[in-house]
Amino acid sequence: MNISERARLRELERENRELRMKTEFLGKAAAFFAQKYQ
């Protein structure tokens, strides 16, 4: 892997972590509101 490929991989890994955290948060929020409004 060259330098630009490594940099791109690091950026994609960071973006992946961020999206996973957002997805987890939205799942928890959806569960909270589903429980609250039953």
Instruction: Give the pLDDT confidence of 1-38 residue by residue, as tens digits.
Output: 999 999 999 999 999 999 999 999 999 999 999 998 77
Res 6: pLDDT: 98
Alpha-carbon distance of 15 to 3, in angstroms, equals 18
Cβ–Cβ under 8 Å, residues 9 and 1:
yes
Q: Where are the domains of the chain?
A: 1-38
pTM of the model: 0.76
C-alpha angle 11-2-12 in degrees, rounded to nearest 5: 15
